[in-house]
Amino acid sequence: MDIVFIRALRIETTIGIYDWEKAIRQPVVLDLEMASDVARGAATDRIEDALNYKAVSKRLKEFVSESRFELVETLAERCAALIREEFGVPWLRLTLNKVGAVTDSAGVGVIIERGTRPATTPDTTSA
């Protein structure tokens, strides 16, 4: 299994359970690992044959910046569903960090995995 990743994608959004949080925008930071067969894109050297991480990032920025959720859990689930459905990703691990949510911490949030992790093919060439 190959993994395409995006690290520290920072997006401003409205998120939180308190009234004051519902009236402001706060940063969330996303880290993603997405299963993808990179061999196809590598063979053709065409973006059409690869998982386009720029397109994924752009779509996430659009979705998250326009969303309004109370819980980081809800936002993480919706982001995972969006990526899997719109980009055909069979498995992903998503970390959502609500920066500054807890005093004296670097961040808090959730890490979720969704989908079926593709099996790796055993190396039979060295036998």
Find residue 6's DSSP bridge partners: 32
pLDDT in the model for residue 119: 77
Q: Are 90 and 118 in contact (CB under 8 A)?
A: yes
Among residues 22, 54, 58, 98, the one annotated as catalytic is 98
pLDDT tens string 59-114: 999 999 999 999 999 999 999 999 999 999 999 999 999 998 888 998 999 999 99
Lowest mean pLDDT among 11-20, 27-36, 111-120: 111-120
Task: Determine contact, residues 60/10, Cβ cutoff 8 Å.
Answer: no
Q: Is 98 a catalytic residue?
A: yes
Domains in the chain (CATH in brackets) are 3-115 (3.30.1130.10)
- Whether 124 has a pLDDT exceeding 80, the answer reads no
Query: For residue 117, what pLDDT is reported?
Result: 84
pLDDT of residue 121: 54
